Chains A and B, each alone.
Chain A
């Protein structure tokens, strides 16, 4: 019989089927000696039992209560307590990440008594009220699914309802449709991670942020990240506040920053890849919330693979395997030569809406664009705005420029779908000066230049990391693309 609940230190780090990918990551961090908020998992096995019985049986209920007791001991807090209350987050975690699963509920365990206790504990009235409000909003939307539903006061009842909601979400229409399409079992269960909350919004020695162990845009082997003092992660996600560069943390809390970098090095070493680490600082103590392999640009992917191999962290064969042919293709996209850009006449500037460089004669009419392009001319489509009627012109054009509209405009959206360079919002009346001229559009920088500028097409000597990788691969990376 497999267990229905498990703590992070109970040998679960290699069992994603049972506890889900996120809990595995937490358990790994913990086993590396990193500070992770205490957590337990209600396992996929419990989910299976729930599906079988159609309800949470008494044995599982009391097991969850016992797990909460242990969490209380580890944190020296009480669930629903009038003194030092324990709040938890509840999140879904299946072995495979799939659509339709439940969003995370934060601050669970909250009620009016707990709010008063949080205030007394030193968080202040505003912190306590905000935390309560956040819980109400999340619990109603995610678990109760009605904006005006009454909230249960009992923390255990809140927790059981949230666990059931996670289980049920793995049977949602969306999750099922996804599994069907990917040939996954229809009844795939999910686990639930219940973790003690830590707060980045308590005081000036608190905050939240993200650390990349290397720069995800350029690949440079230098830590990169963001920090927001006195805030919770949701403040960043919701865009209500703008984070500052990670150096802000180095100035404010140098010891925490040093500890964070050390954690980054340990994780990168253990996972043999660049890490994207979410963290919270609570009253000067660093807590790691999540670590995963960082998403990266094509340039960064190639540079990182080569440098990890050079540092001896991965084998050269692994470095080659980690770079996709799409990434190799992406770094070879034409770019404007710096010299060409410096000496060129800038005709107009707008928002960079879709990357890449395209050049040709500026034409306003879509039918004309289509016919001249079919006749072999290179055309840049310049329009006040675009609409669905202009699609044929956009398909035929080398690049697209508009007078009005931002990065969410039709022109921007369709250009990105078509992988065409696009500059939008150059200002009303600007295209009249362009029509009939030869122009070069730099969609990465939002600039339109006079004339057909020299475009730097890819040469191996201009990208030393790709050249290195290709040499290791015996030339087959670039060769493959020539075919």
Chain B
């Protein structure tokens, strides 16, 4: 089985989102609605994709098919030292990012730590400033990756959009799970890099 574009991109996007409606796949892949629909139709006929409660998801076959495509399609990228170095830098930035999101969600109050209710503009602002700085560094790293990996530029646009919403006073766009928040896109991006480069996720302690 050979997965060509746009089918590969659609299935890969679905793998990143795990379950998604068409709108979600539009967000992730940047492809037009009808292109996505046609690709999903073909994939359903080949039993690579299933539809459950109005959400698409990969079948075991679909997952296996993708797993065969990555090493071929990204053989060159996987051997690229510049890319590997950029990924390493991203991993280290990722640790900083997670600490930042934790500070965003939990604020120290005396000796206790409490959920951040976003009532202290100054506290939130300090963290948003850090997020802006971190975003600039991420863009720098990702610019190296975007020439070789198809969705990276798209992720960057989405990160920027989320950052702007957050800066504009909508705190849920930092780490909310029900919108294309900065954290949600960042995790898709991270997952993307890991899949394409054939690495596994590591939780740091």
Contact = CB atoms under 8 A, between A and B. Distances in A.
A180 interface: yes
A97 B121 contact: yes
Nearest to A22: B122
Contacts of A407: 102, 106
Nearest to B172: A417
Contacts, number: 116
Contact of B98 (A182, A295, A385, A409): A409
B176 A392 contact: no
Contacts of B111: 217
A99 B129 contact: yes
A355 interface: yes
Interface in B6-23: 16-19
A355 B109 CA distance: 15
A127 B106 CA distance: 34
A93 to B, nearest CB: 12
B18 A388 contact: yes
B48 to A, nearest CB: 17
A62 interface: no
Contacts of B120: 295
A99 B201 contact: no
A413 B18 CA distance: 18
A408 interface: yes
A97 B17 CA distance: 37
B168 A181 contact: yes
B16 A425 contact: no
Interface stretch (B67-75, B136-144, B184-192): B184-192
A425 B205 contact: yes
A355 B167 contact: no
A120 interface: no
Contacts of B110: 212, 215-217, 224-226
Given A97-B121, A295-B109, A297-B114, A414 B177 contact: yes
B102 A412 contact: yes
A125 interface: no
B98 A297 contact: no
B1 interface: no
Nearest to B175: A417
A406 interface: yes
B125 interface: yes
A38 interface: no
Interface in A390-439: 391-392, 395, 402, 404-410, 412-414, 416-418, 425
Contacts of B150: none
Nearest to A388: B187
B165 to A, nearest CB: 9
B19 A392 contact: yes
A402 B205 CA distance: 12
B115 A408 contact: no
A182 B19 CA distance: 35
Contacts of B109: 216-217, 295-297
Contacts of A257: none
A480 interface: no
A413 B186 CA distance: 13
Interface in B101-138: 101-102, 105-107, 109-112, 114-115, 117, 119-125, 128-129, 132
Most buried by A among B19, B98, B175: B98
Given A99-B128, A181-B169, A408-B98, A391 B203 contact: no
Contacts of B41: none
Given A217-B114, A224-B110, A407-B106, A391 B101 contact: no
Contact of A404 (B164, B187, B203): B203
A355 B115 contact: yes
A388 B117 contact: no
Contact of B169 (A178, A388, A395, A409): A178
Contacts of A402: 203
A416 B203 contact: no
Contact of B101 (A174, A212, A408): A408
A177 interface: yes
A387 interface: yes
A461 interface: no
Nearest to B122: A97
A409 B119 contact: no
A385 B105 contact: no
B76 interface: no
Nearest to A392: B19
B112 A410 contact: no
A391 B18 contact: yes
A400 B74 CA distance: 35
A389 interface: yes
B204 interface: yes
Nearest to B53: A374
B132 A174 contact: yes
Interface in A65-87: none
A326 interface: yes
B99 interface: yes
A98 interface: yes
B86 to A, nearest CB: 21
A407 to B, nearest CB: 6
Nearest to B187: A388
Given A297-B109, A407-B102, 13 more contacts: A99-B121, A174-B128, A177-B164, A177-B167, A212-B110, A216-B109, A217-B114, A226-B110, A295-B123, A385-B201, A387-B201, A388-B17, A392-B19
Closest 9 CB pairs of A and B: A405-B203, A408-B98, A217-B112, A389-B18, A181-B168, A408-B102, A385-B203, A416-B105, A388-B187
23 contacts: A97-B121, A97-B125, A99-B128, A99-B167, A100-B129, A177-B164, A178-B167, A217-B110, A217-B112, A225-B110, A226-B110, A326-B117, A388-B18, A388-B188, A389-B18, A391-B177, A406-B205, A407-B106, A408-B95, A409-B98, A409-B204, A410-B203, A413-B102
Interface of B: 16-19, 95, 98-99, 101-102, 105-107, 109-112, 114-115, 117, 119-125, 128-129, 132, 164, 167-170, 175-177, 183-184, 187-188, 191, 201, 203-205
